[in-house]
C-alpha cells in the first residue's frame, strides 16, 4: 500500500504546515507519520508514531542522511553529499510510505527513502539514545571495591577466546564493564599474547617497544623492571594517547612470598572522593600534573611530557582517564604555587583510598591479567629475585579504539539489531 500525500501550503511565509495522519500496519505495530512545522522556524521535522511511541526526525538531519547512491556511497558506507551545496533549510514536498519505508521528496525534488527500523534505531528520544549508547556505543562501567574482586574478575579460557566469537565477546564485554579480567590456560610461549591480540586488532607500540618484558633488570630505564615494591600506578601517563589496556602474560611466577598484584578501581575511588572529599576531588580534577619519562630504550632516546590532572573528566563531568605514577610524575609543577600543598594532600588521600580499596592476588604461569590502564591502578609487592625464585611477565598494550571496535563488530554479528 502506497500513499502519496500532497502537502498544503498554509501561509505567505512559504513554509509548510504538515500534519500527516498516516496510519498503517507495520509488522503488526500501528504507526503514524506526521510532518510538523514548528512556528519557531527551528525544528522542522517528521514525526512517526511507532509502537505507540512518537518519534521525531528533523528534516535537515533526514536530508543529510539520505541513503540514495548520489548521497551515500554504498561500498564505503559513507555520506558523499556535497556540503557546499547543502541546504540547511530544506523543506518537505511529499511523503510516501509503505509497510517498511518512508519516502520523502524534498523541495529541490531530490527523493530520499528510509527504512522504518533504520529510523527507529536512530531515534532522538533520550531513552532510545541512552539505550543505544549503553549497548552499541560503549558498555556501562560497573565500579567495584577490592573486597568484591573475586566476584567481578571473570575468568576466560585462552583457547575459547581464540576460537569462538562468543568467548571473545564475553571477554571484551567484561573488560569494558569491570576494567579487569583474567585469561587462563595460556600456552607458555612468547607469542601467545599475539594470538589473542590478533583476535581484537593490533598492539599499541610505545617507546618501550611492541611487547615488553617485566623482570628484574640491573641499571634499568624503568622502575617496573626491578624486584622492589612497585607502588600502584597507571602505565605511561606521560602519553597523551596513554595505552588503553594492559595485558600481562605471566610466564614465570615467584615461588616465595611477594610478587603479588595489587589492583584498584579508580572510578570507584573517584566516586567515593567526590562524595566524601569534594574539595580534594575538585583539586585532582582541576590541577594539571606534568607526567614525565626521559631516557633511552633499545638505543632510542625519549623525552615524554604530558600535562593532565590525576582525575580527568569529560565535558559531561564523567571520569574518562586516570593518571597516577609516583616515578613518572615530573618535577615541574605546572600550576600555581598556592595549589601545591593542597594538591599534595589530595594526591596523598587518593593514593591512601586506592590502597584501602585495592584487591590483592597473585597470577600464576599461564595467566594473562588484562586491565584498563586508564581506569585502574596496578602495582606489585616486592619479591626476592634469586635463582629459583624469579618472576617474568610479557606485556603488550591494546587501545580502546580497537577493543570497542571489535566489540561492536561482535555485537552486530551475534546480537543483530534491525536498522543498524
Q: What is the nearest approach in angstroms of a second copy to the Cβ of residue 395?
A: 17
Asked if residue 23 binds a second copy (CB under 8 A), the reply is no
CA distance readout (Å), 274 to 24, 178, 247, 278, 344: 51, 20, 30, 5, 17
Contact between 202 and 402 under an 8 Å Cβ cutoff? The reply is: yes
Contact between 373 and 238 under an 8 Å Cβ cutoff? The reply is: no
Site string for a second copy, 215-254 (x = CB under 8 A): ----xxxxx----xx-x-------xxx-------------
Near a second copy in 105-164, by CB under 8 A: 122, 124, 126, 129, 132-133, 136-137
Contact between 50 and 31 under an 8 Å Cβ cutoff? The reply is: yes
Among 68, 140, 326, 365, binds a second copy (CB under 8 A): 326
User: How many Cα atoms occupy the beta-carbon half-sphere of 344 within 13 Å?
Assistant: 6
Among 211, 249, 329, 378, binds a second copy (CB under 8 A): 329
Among 355, 362, 366, 382, binds a second copy (CB under 8 A): 355
CB nearer to a second copy: give 3 or 129: 129
Asked if residue 80 binds a second copy (CB under 8 A), the reply is yes
Q: What is the nearest approach in angstroms of a second copy to the Cβ of residue 413?
A: 8
Q: What is the nearest approach in angstroms of a second copy to the Cβ of residue 179?
A: 16
Site string for a second copy, 28-67 (x = CB under 8 A): --------------xxxx----------x-x-xx--xx--
Cα distance between residue 327 and residue 233, in whole Å: 9
What single string gives the DSSP state of each residue in 391-418?
-EEEEEEE-HHHHHHHHHHHHHHHS--T
Cα distance between residue 179 and residue 231, in whole Å: 19
- Helix count and strand count (H, E) for the chain: 11, 24
In this structure, the number of other CB atoms found within 10 A of the CB of residue 170 comes to 18
CB nearer to a second copy: give 152 or 171: 171
Among 30, 205, 360, 386, binds a second copy (CB under 8 A): 205
Q: What is the nearest approach in angstroms of a second copy to the Cβ of residue 3?
A: 25
Amino acid at each position: 500500500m502506497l500513499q502519496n500525500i500532497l502537502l498544503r501550503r498554509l501561509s505567505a511565509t512559504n513554509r509548510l504546515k504538515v500534519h500527516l495522519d498516516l496510519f498503517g500496519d507495520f509488522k503488526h505495530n500501528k504507526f503514524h507519520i506526521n510532518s510538523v512545522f514548528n512556528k519557531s522556524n527551528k525544528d522542522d521535522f517528521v514525526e512517526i508514531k511507532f509502537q505507540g511511541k512518537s518519534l521525531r526526525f528533523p528534516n535537515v538531519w533526514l536530508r543529510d542522511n539520505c541513503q540514495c547512491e548520489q548521497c551515500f556511497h554504498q561500498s564505503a558506507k559513507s555520506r558523499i553529499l556535497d556540503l557546499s551545496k547543502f541546504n540547511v533549510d530544506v523543506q518537505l514536498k511529499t511523503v510516501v510510505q509503505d509497510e517498511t519505508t518512508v519516502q520523502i521528496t524534498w523541495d529541490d525534488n531530490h527523493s530520499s527513502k528510509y527504512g522504518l527500523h533504520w529510523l527507529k534505531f536512530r531515534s532522538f528520544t533520550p531513552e532510545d539514545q541512552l539505550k543505544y549508547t549503553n549497548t552499541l556505543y560503549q558498555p556501562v562501567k560497573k565500579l567495584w571495591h577490592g573486597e568484591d574482586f573475586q566476584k567481578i574478575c571473570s575468568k576466560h579460557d585462552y583457547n575459547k577466546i581464540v576460537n569462538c566469537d562468543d568467548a571473545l565477546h564475553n571477554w571484551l564485554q567484561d573488560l569494558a564493564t569491570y576494567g579487569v579480567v583474567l585469561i587462563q590456560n595460556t600456552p607458555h610461549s612468547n607469542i601467545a599474547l599475539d594470538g589473542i591480540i590478533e583476535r581484537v586488532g593490533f598492539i599499541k607500540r610505545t617507546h618501550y617497544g611492541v611487547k615488553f618484558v617485566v623482570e628484574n633488570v640491573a641499571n634499568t630505564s624503568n622502575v617496573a623492571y626491578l624486584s622492589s615494591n612497585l607502588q600502584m600506578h597507571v602505565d605511561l601517563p606521560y602519553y597523551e594517547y596513554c595505552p588503553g589496556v594492559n595485558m600481562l602474560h605471566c610466564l614465570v611466577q615467584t615461588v616465595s612470598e611477594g610478587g603479588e598484584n595489587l589492583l584498584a578501581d579508580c572510578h570507584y575511588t573517584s566516586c567515593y572522593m567526590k562524595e566524601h572529599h569534594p574539595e580534594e576531588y575538585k583539586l585532582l580534577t582541576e590541577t594539571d600534573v606534568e607526567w614525565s619519562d626521559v631516557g633511552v630504550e633499545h638505543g632510542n632516546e625519549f623525552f615524554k611530557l604530558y600535562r593532565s590532572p590525576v582525575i580527568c573528566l569529560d565535558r559531561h563531568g564523567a571520569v574518562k582517564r586516570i593518571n597516577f605514577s609516583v616515578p613518572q610524575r615530573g618535577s615541574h609543577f605546572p600550576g600555581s604555587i598556592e595549589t601545591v600543598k593542597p594538591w599534595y594532600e589530595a594526591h596523598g588521600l587518593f593514593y591512601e583510598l586506592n590502597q584501602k580499596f585495592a584487591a590483592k592476588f597473585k597470577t600464576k604461569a599461564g595467566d594473562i591479567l588484562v586491565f584498563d590502564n586508564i581506569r585502574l591502578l596496578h602495582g606489585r609487592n616486592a619479591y626476592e629475585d634469586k635463582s629459583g625464585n624469579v618472576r617474568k611477565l610479557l606485556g603488550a598494550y591494546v587501545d580502546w579504539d580497537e577493543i570497542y571496535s571489535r566489540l561492536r563488530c561482535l555485537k552486530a554479528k551475534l546480537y543483530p539489531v534491525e536498522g543498524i
